[in-house]
Structure 1
Amino acid sequence: MLHNESIPSQKKKIIVLGSGPNRIGQGIEFDYCCTHGLLAIKECGYEAIMINCNPETVSTDFDIADKLYFEPVYWEHLWEIIEHEKPEGVIVQLGGQTALKLAKRLHEKGIKIIGTSFDDMDIAEDRGRFSDLLEQMHIPFPKYGTAFTTDDAIEVANEVGYPVLVRPSYVLGGQRMRIVINDEELEKSVLSLLKHLPGNKILIDHFLDRCQEAEIDAICDGEDVYIMGIMEHIEPAGIHSGDSHSVLPVFNLGKLEVEEMVDIAKKLALKLNIRGLINIQFAIKEGKVFVIEANPRASRTTPFIAKAYGVPFLNIATKVMLGAAKLKDFKIEPKLEGYAVKEPVFSFNKFPNVNKELGPEMKSTGEAIRFIKNLRDPWFRQLYKERSMHLSK
């Protein structure tokens, strides 16, 4: 006879969705986000419920959430728990792309998504809808087109101009993204996409070669936008942001470029009705700032920025999502002497026969933080020299 040991309480509850097992494309960074989110939920007087199935994380420790469901982050499990617990809502912003992909099912079932609404998140996630929004707002972005067949893809690629970045919508860690330079390579990439992700809309962007990349993480409460940090990538364009060394704050971008990025980030966050977190990625070429993508959730660099600046950004963002506070209620005082550098961590020693060449599909399994006093640091000078040599090829 089956016995249910989970007895629902009478308290108001909030469910946090985790990111599932650590794997290539999605690492431990989101555990930090979920842990601090759970603590913030409890501070706001709610019962904090965690759903995740990773024993190697802090968010699944017995004393973090009020109640832990150690279950796979799949819809079937989630729906049963929701019917049982009847929460006030579900937070999907803290568990990476795995959690975010469940937003549509929650929306269709009428379950409240805490923070940014499903439709606003979908605009950012759907590459086509997002590009249309950028066009309406007169924000520069790479030329693009969408396709469902190889013939359509070839026609679009020739229209936007090679090289092109081929990618599906709603993917984890740049899964199956490719940079191609001719029709033959494009046809192979599209056929592979259609085989492994049937029915997925394929987006084809003109690839901005030899440009700098940067990203902004921000919190928005619907009225104000706070820029948590601006990070500049060391690796050349075309390397996934998760595999790039990133420097906080920026060190090589001009003041006008930084101001343009901040202005775009604030406009986009307000236009998308963000309640909580957003990450926006940029490409800067010949002084012009282009938007590559926006992620309406915690990014891999959110914990990094919080650690570097010593500010509990995830606690603040969660309270903003819940509507328990506004940004103006917090006294935010970032502290960082010199620079913080994000170092990607790879596990190639565990997979000796895999292709180690980096590209738009993420291959790192984590990240580390290195503090340097100034840009004359020998380690940093060597890293930047190697990057410059790569760009000059």
Structure 2
Amino acid sequence: MNHTISSNESIPSAKKKIIVLGSGPNRIGQGIEFDYCCVHGLLAIKECGYEAIMVNCNPETVSTDFDIADKLYFEPVFWEHLWEIIELEKPEGVIVQLGGQTALKLAKKLHEKGIRIFGTSFDNMDIAEDRGRFSDLLKELEIPYPQYGTAFNAEEAIEVAQKVGFPVLVRPSYVLGGQRMRIVLNDEDLENAVVSLLKHIPDNKILIDHFLDRCQEAEIDGIFDGEDFHVMGVMEHIEPAGIHSGDSNAVLPAFNLTPLEVTTMEHYGEKIARALDIRGLINIQFAIKDGTVYVIEANPRASRTTPFIAKAYGVPFLNIATKVMLGANMLKDFKIEKKLDGFAIKEPVFSFNKFPHVNKELGPEMKSTGEAIRFIKDLRDPYFRKLYKERSMHLSK
């Protein structure tokens, strides 16, 4: 005689609850930086009077410490597990902006089930994630962007590449850390790249962008509350275009861009945030060539550089952004004072010593496993001069 025994040690409280989704196990493209975001988000939720519930499955992170959230579900950040938790806890809603791409990918399911997503709506986040829809938006806003096309096989890819012009950047859609992204120079290399991509990620839509060679890359992180747009920081990459942003040394604030280029980036950032009706965080990547500022992509969530900027300037940006997502505060409620004497450099951290047979050549597919921060007084600093000299040598090749 079979007896089905079910038990549940989780007893929901009567308090209003908010769930924060973490980023799961550390991996290239999505690491410990998002743990900082989740921890500060949880603390902000508590300050707003809600019960803060954390869903994550990484024992190495502070967000899964027993005393950070009011309640921790140490579960994989997969839909099946999340739905069971939601059914039990009946939260006011879920925050997906703090846990990187893993959390963001669950927004569609939450939207379909009618679960409230705090902050930016699913449809507006999807416009930023979908290259076709996002390029249409940029065209409407009269913001420059690299010519692009989409394909589902090698034959279509060659047609698109001939239309947008070589060199092209080939990548699958909706992936993490530039996975299987390649820069190709001719039809033969393009065909090989597409065949390889479809072999590893079948049925994926392939994005083909004209690659802006020998240009400067930069990015901004911002917060938008529906009225005001605050630029947390403008970071200029030391490495040239073609190196993934996660593998680039980046300087805060920008050191070699003209005031007009920086102002243009901030202006485009605000236009995009307003058009997407962002509530909370947004990261936008730019390429600057011959004085023209091009938008490469927008991430409607916390980026890996958000904690870096918060620490460099000494401002609790994640606390502020979470309260904006919840609708508890507007940006004008906060007195934001940035304190940085000189410059902060974001240094990528690599683990090649643990993976001796991995190709160490950097490109559009991310290889770093973390990042560190270095403060310098001015641009005469020997460390910075060495980095910039290496960049100049790279460009002259």
Among residues 336, 340, 361, which one is paired with 1:336 in the alignment?
A: 340
1:219 and 2:199 matched: no
Among residues 384, 391, 397, which one is paired with 1:387 in the alignment?
A: 391
Distance in 1, matches of 2:365 and 2:101, equals: 14
Q: Secondary structure at the match of 2:42?
A: helix
Q: TM-score when scaled to structure 2? A: 0.98
- Map 1:198-347 to 2 at 5 A: 198-347=202-351
- Where has structure 1 moved over 3 Å in runs of 4 or more? none
> Sequence identity of aligned pairs in percent?
83
What RMSD over aligned residues (CA atoms) do the two structures have, in Å? 0.7
State the number of aligned residues: 393
Question: What is residue 110 of structure 2 aligned with on the other side?
Answer: 106
1:150 Cα offset (Å): 1.2
- Map 1:39-118 to 2 at 5 A: 39-118=43-122
1:190 and 2:194 matched: yes
Among residues 30, 35, 40, which one is paired with 1:36 in the alignment?
A: 40
Question: What is residue 365 of structure 1 aligned with on the other side?
Answer: 369
What code does the residue aligned with 2:171 have? R
**Structure 1: segments with no counterpart, 5+ residues:** none
Distance in 2, matches of 1:327 and 1:199, equals: 43
Question: What is residue 353 of structure 1 aligned with on the other side?
Answer: 357
Question: What is residue 9 of structure 1 aligned with on the other side?
Answer: 13
Q: Secondary structure at the match of 1:59?
A: helix
Distance in 2, matches of 1:284 and 1:234, equals: 13
1:196 Cα offset (Å): 2.0
1:201 Cα offset (Å): 1.3
What code does the residue aligned with 1:304 have? F
Deviations 1:309-361 (A, max 9, x none): 00000000000000000001000000000000000000111100011111111
1:199 Cα offset (Å): 2.2
Distance in 2, matches of 1:66 and 1:90, equals: 15
What code does the residue aligned with 1:120 have? N
Q: Secondary structure at the match of 1:54?
A: coil
Deviations 1:126-185 (A, max 9, x none): 011101111111100000011111111100001000000011111111111111111111
1:198 Cα offset (Å): 2.0
What code does the residue aligned with 1:232 have? E
1:191 Cα offset (Å): 1.4
Distance in 2, matches of 1:131 and 1:193, equals: 23
1:24 Cα offset (Å): 1.3
Deviations 1:229-281 (A, max 9, x none): 00000001010000000000000000111111010001100110000000000
1:167 and 2:171 matched: yes
Distance in 2, matches of 1:190 and 1:153, equals: 8
Deviations 1:50-108 (A, max 9, x none): 00000111101011000000001111111111111111111000000011011111111
What code does the residue aligned with 1:194 have? L
Distance in 2, matches of 1:44 and 1:169, equals: 37
Question: What is residue 123 of structure 1 aligned with on the other side?
Answer: 127
Q: Secondary structure at the match of 1:42?
A: helix
Distance in 1, matches of 2:396 and 2:170, equals: 24
What code does the residue aligned with 2:29 have? G
Distance in 1, matches of 2:40 and 2:304, equals: 15
Q: TM-score when scaled to structure 1? A: 0.99
What code does the residue aligned with 1:151 have? E
Question: What is residue 153 of structure 1 aligned with on the other side?
Answer: 157
Question: What is residue 141 of structure 1 aligned with on the other side?
Answer: 145
What code does the residue aligned with 1:106 have? L
